Amino acid sequence: MDNNIIRKYDIRGIVGKDLQINDGYEIGRKFGQAVSSVCIGYDSRIDSPSIEKELIRGLTSSGANVIRIGLCSSPMLYAATQITQADLGIIITASHNSSEYNGFKFFSSKKVFSDQEVKEIVSSPVKDGTKIGSLININIYDQYIRILKNALKSNTKQKLKIAWDCGNSPASGIIRYIDKILPDHTHIVTNNSIDGAFPLHDPDPIEEKNLAQLIDIVKEDKCDLGIALDGDSDRVRLVDNKGNIVSNDHLFMIFAREVLEEYPKSKVIANIKMSMKVHDFVSKLGGQVITCATGHSLVKKKMVEEEAKFAGELSGHFFFSELGFDDGLYSAVKAIDILLKRNQNLSQVIEDLPKLYITHEVKIVVKDEKKFQIIESIKKALEQQNITFSELDGIKVTDNDSKGWWLLRVSNTQNCITARCEGDTLEDFELTKKVLFYYIDRARSLNCNR
């Protein structure tokens, strides 16, 4: 197997190029030696069933007992792993990547697998003479629906009209039961067929072009909000009642405020890309924000270490302590519950939050083999200029008066460098943006150099 597809927190590659169908057998063979029971599932991608077959063959041939969930979202697999008390959960997915990608995510209630640990397991020698493991099939739908229903606590009789974009993902299978989860509301669902070709748009709600269809539905049908899920349904993006895309910085604030009302003075985890106004907002509410590097497994690990009650990433991964994992659908139901509790529409809730002067996440497409070199080159240039920066995750430069910051970091899932900047005021923002775009141009020129 090509070890280059082992990323910071999962395995991901283009099928037929750097990820092969029979890689599932090798991964199963090696992980089957490391644990005794494995819960497995797969997403809606075209090659996922074939890879699952090889994964099962590898796991059972190494003596592992396999609990097969079948087609499911990542959060469903995480929940199933907890319910069955399996040593490990593996889902075949490439999350938000386009249809030619696939891969593997690993989940355990006991530990978080780093890229180094995955590499060590995959490179371990195969042991001979192991007995064949067992295989059972289970259906997790009823238990998972109960988990989602538990996120709804409001008893109000207010009725909402909600637009859903399932992104042709396994979430489609759950949305069929949405009236059990959110009864008495009106639901308008699009992209509800499970289709790994993703015919209308890629399953990445962070890319705003992929929200155009949902925005049109919200406006035309006068919905109270729109909800978009990614390819394996562990991330969420909201559209308000006016058709405006909600920043995940603001959604983090909305969730954090609710958590702090229930658990005063608690810790919350925010990844490094989040707005500095998230920190100010949480501090004023009596909470403490701890900054973490980007990556759902890294955030989860930090959350456990700090005993935090909530965590979130700009990409739409939100973690609630009662779950122990990130779940886009659970987060969506939480957001609906907050609207019902506050008896406000979503645009009103956003208007009450701090105004942000911040860029969207900018993606600079570069050669995959050069992205780390580019970041290292810019670090050296900053050091030569005696400019101080954080290396927690890429490069983050904060000005001396803390009125602005800019960030460049390597994407762990795509061949790009991501960038973002923020200012305390519009004037601070414009100044910081000029600096950031100077270094974006520098990154592009380094990508073109041999």
Cα 227 to Cα 168, 239, 329: the distances in Å are: 14, 6, 9
List 37, 73, 95, 99, catalytic entry: 95
Residue 124 annotated in active site: no
Work out the angle at residue 333's Cα, subtended by the Cα atoms of residues 327 and 334, and round it to the nearest 5 degrees: 85
Measured CA to CA, the distance from residue 69 to residue 386 in angstroms comes to: 54
- The DSSP line for 284-350 is HTT-EEEEE-S-HHHHHHHHHHHT-SEEE-TTS-EEETTTSSB-HHHHHHHHHHHHHHHT--HHHHH
Q: Say if CB 240 and CB 248 are below 8 A apart.
A: no
Distance CA 72, CA 88 (A): 16
DSSP state of 224: S
CA 300, distance to chain mean position in Å, is 11
Give backbone dihedrals phi and psi of 181, rounded to 5 degrees, phi first: -85, -45
Instruction: Kindly list the catalytic residues.
Output: 95
